[in-house]
Amino acid sequence: MEALKIRERIFREGVKVFLAGFLIGLLLGVIDFWRVSFALHAFKYLKPYLIDTQLIFLTTTVKLALFFGLVSLVFFFIHRMIVRFFGRRRNRGIFTSFSIAELYVWLIFLYVIFVLRFSIGPPILDLSKTSLLYLSLLLPALILALCTVPRMTLRCGAKTVFLFYAVMAAAVVFPFVWLQLYITGTVGSEDLPEPSGKRKNVVLIILDTARKDALSCYGNKKKVTPAIDRIAREGMLFRNCYSPSNWTIPVHASIFTGLYPSSHRVNMIDWRMPSNITTLAEVLRRHGYQTAGFTANTILSGSNRFDLGFTYYKCYSDHQFLANVRYFLMGNVVWAKLGLADLQKPRDFPPDAYFQKAGDLVRDVRNWFEYDRREDRPFFLFMNFMDVHYPYQPPEPYLSQFSSLRDEKNFYTHFLEPKDYFSVKYKLNDDDIIHLRELYDGSMAYLDASLEQLFQFFRDRALFDNIFLVIASDHGEYFGEHEEYYYKLFHSFGIFDQLVSVPLILRHPDLIPAHTEVDGLVSLVDILPTIFDAAGIDLSVMPHPVQGESLLSLAEKGGRDYSYYEFQVMPLKKFLKRKQIPRILKVYPDIRLKLWFRSFTAIQDREFKLVKDSTGGIHLYHLPSDPLESRPVNDAFPEIYNRMYAALEERHSRFLGEAVKKGSEHMSQETLDQLRRLGYLQ
């Protein structure tokens, strides 16, 4: 009978010890979550991070709690064996009453040892300083426990124990509750100004690297873009829209500011948005708009300040670390050490995940509507999709529909980097370029299908007809053109039509008549004043001159007289390593690097294009007879040459005179690595 009572008492104490360990495991799981969150720099835009990681957080916290519960049981039974071995019959044990605090001290100590031993988590400090930090927190706790716990053990009753557990439970439950309240906007929502009148919602979609002729509504004979084609029929399509530059960073800066690259000064030399510049999102936010940005392009990140004005901003480079979260959280680590799970060390970008897929980005937008959208405010959504950017990897069924390649494992797009093309680590023949264009079309079809899901989501919520929708591309892509200048692929050099002629479509049933096509010249710089026009905001709110004009008024008067664009090249020594140059000259003996690495300014009307480069060359091209811009006609049209040259110089000089003052900026190592991966640096 006595033995039965002892076993029952041991069982009850064991359950109590397991629950105590489980509880401290939950608390340490919460602490561990914030530890990893802080180290991964998630606090600038905490809400997108929390939405993505809440399930990971919950599961890994439970794993850690179970682990510490089992460890506590092991401690308890070791203690029982020690007591029995030494013949101690009076067991007030260290695991009774409030003395569980000693157990907590040792569990926390075990957690710290795990963190230090397995080097889990990105470094906040170097290891020696981290060790000192943890020890400085741990030693006072140990001294306090050793000095006070034995006395408190004899004095504490059931009420104290209950109070202790209540406090511990509150410490665990509160972060979970706060997490849900914060994510859903119940707490922590930003105070936005009250909008004056009923303003239209605005959605700006950029199809990164989409050539104009890749869309069916712009002449692609394949049925690639039925969703976008429908938007074009319901709205206004611009046949002659030109980008202010030939690549992502300066073009997005122009879209967000209404300035040409010479004025906002974001270019190949300096990649970051000026901190003192006013952006489209900032102005809309001041006028009561809820602003949210989603970009699959890793260089449009907060570290490059493209998040200015957004209350919610999610860039794939900032949030690719979901795999890192799984790897760094201690709950997963101990599970892997016990052999209960396989924990792969994360890579920054797996071969098929350079950029966020369109379907995942659309899912993020839906999550924003579910968790953060405020019904009492108009919204501005910016989205950048990267599916038609190299490495062109469409999922099924689009791969089979558009590509003749059947061995996905041997895609050269899985292991060939854009930067390696420019350093001549590989060459592609005409058949390869055909395959790349097929993959490109398949990627466009997948992107279009994902956009249809987004549009249907808006329709289901009765929002679509109150959205001022803008769809555009920032620049195009080469597919075999201009081989003589080494510009056969990608978009890193040159200012030819294949790069700067881009699609642009507007839709709003009340503002824009359906089935409208505009042949006049327009620019992506005109997007900001157009959105202001649709939102009822005067351009005078901008502290700097706006160099664009509303597309709605341009459509009425037939477009611009000229389109202007420019490109500032990366210096040769920054783009190519010294040892790469001899290999390039050996493979391409006719290449002239001086002609390859040129900056450009250009201006064009409907018939002629004038290009000035940094070597002093000035060339006039007749576009109808020379679409590849290979035969200058300076001497044949001297009056047109002189007129367009004067217009080019006047604009370039004016834009330089209106330049935003910008201090010296230093790119982070993360940004430099991303630029190398994209082929902009070597």
| Domain residue limits, the chain | 2-183, 201-320+356-556
Distance of CA 180 to the CA centre of its chain: 23
For 118, phi then psi, to 5°, come to -95, 5
pLDDT at 362: 95
pLDDT at 579 over 70: no
Mean pLDDT score, 137-164? 49
Q: Output the CA–CA distances (angstroms, integers) from residue 639 to 309, 357, 643, 645, 646, in the order listed.
A: 46, 50, 6, 10, 11
pLDDT in the model for residue 434: 84
Q: Under DSSP, is residue 163 helix (H, G, I), strand (E, B) or coil?
A: helix
pLDDT digits (tens, 9 = 90+) for 634-678: 999 999 999 999 999 999 999 998 888 765 555 555 555 555 555
Higher-pLDDT residue of 548 and 102 is: 548
pLDDT band at 331 (very low <50, low <70, confident <90, very high): confident
With beta carbons less than 8 A apart as the criterion, state whether 600 and 613 touch.
yes
Maximum average pLDDT range among 66-75, 255-264, 425-434, 582-591: 255-264
Span of 181-185, 342-346, 432-436, 579-583 with lowest mean pLDDT: 181-185
Task: Label residue 222 exposed, middle or buried (CB < 10 Å: 0-12, 13-18, 19+).
Answer: middle
- Closest to 662 (Cα-Cα) out of 309, 263, 369: 263
- Mean pLDDT for 43-55 is 69
3-state SS assignment for residue 372: coil
In the structure, what pLDDT confidence band is assigned to residue 278 with cuts at 50, 70 and 90? very high
Structure-token pair, residue 214: 């890749």
Least confident stretch, 97-101, 270-274, 344-348, 423-427: 97-101
Our CA angle for 644, 646, 652, nearest 5°, is: 100
Give the pLDDT of residue 349. Answer: 43
Distance CA 522, CA 508 (A): 19
Does the pLDDT of residue 456 top 70, yes or no? yes
| Proportion of the chain above pLDDT 70, given as a percent | 63
Tell me the average pLDDT across 110-128: 49
Model confidence over 495-547: pLDDT tens digits?
889 899 999 999 999 999 999 999 999 999 999 999 999 999 999 999 888 99
More confident residue, 79 or 659: 659
Mean pLDDT taken over the chain: 77
Asked if residue 472 has pLDDT above 80, the reply is yes
pLDDT in tens, 590-602: 666 677 778 889 9
The per-residue pLDDT for 55 is: 75
Query: In this structure, are residues 68 and 25 in contact, taking their beta carbons and an 8 Å threshold?
Result: yes
pTM of the shown model = 0.79
DSSP 416-452: --HHHHHTTS----HHHHHHHHHHHHHHHHHHHHHHH
More confident residue, 334 or 126: 334
Distance CA 530, CA 552 (A): 7
The helix or strand, by DSSP H or E, that contains position 257, with its residue range, turns out to be helix 248-257
pLDDT of residue 282: 94
> For residues 455 and 412, which has the higher predicted lDDT (pLDDT)?
455
Right CATH for 201-320+356-556 from 3.30.420.40, 3.40.50.10680, 3.20.20.140, 3.40.720.10: 3.40.720.10
pLDDT tier, 149 (very low <50, low <70, confident <90, very high otherwise): very low
Instruction: Write out the two tokens for 411.
Output: 């895609």
Could you tell me the pLDDT band of residue 74, with boundaries at 50, 70 and 90?
confident
Which is higher by pLDDT, 339 or 147? 339
Confidence of residue 77 (pLDDT cuts 50, 70, 90): confident
Supply the pLDDT for residue 83.
58
pLDDT of residue 122: 42
Q: Please give the residue that has the higher pLDDT: either 189 or 30.
A: 30
Give the Cα separation of 64 and 61 in Å (integer): 5
- 351 pLDDT band, cuts 50/70/90, is very low
Rounded Cα distance between 65 and 85, Å, is: 30
Predicted pLDDT at 150: 43
What pLDDT does 674 receive?
53
Pick the closest to residue 21 from 334, 397, 350 (CA basis): 334
Band (pLDDT 50/70/90 cuts) for residue 1 is low
Task: Give the least confident one: 158-167, 284-293, 343-352.
Answer: 343-352
Q: In this structure, which amino acid lies at residue 103?
A: L
Distance (Å, whole) CA 523 – CA 254: 10
Main-chain dihedrals φ then ψ at residue 365, nearest 5 degrees: -65, -45
Lowest mean pLDDT among 51-55, 57-61, 624-628: 51-55
Torsion 169-173-175-181 (CA) sign: negative
- 370-388 pLDDT, tens digit per residue, is 888 888 889 999 999 999 9
Q: How many residues does the chain have?
A: 682
Residue, of 328 and 152, whose pLDDT is higher: 328
Highest mean pLDDT out of 49-58, 116-125, 269-278, 375-384: 375-384
Lowest mean pLDDT among 31-35, 295-299, 483-487: 483-487
Amino acid letter, residue 299: I
* Lowest pLDDT segment from 64-73, 116-125, 268-277: 116-125
pLDDT tens digit string along 6-29? 677 777 777 777 777 777 777 777
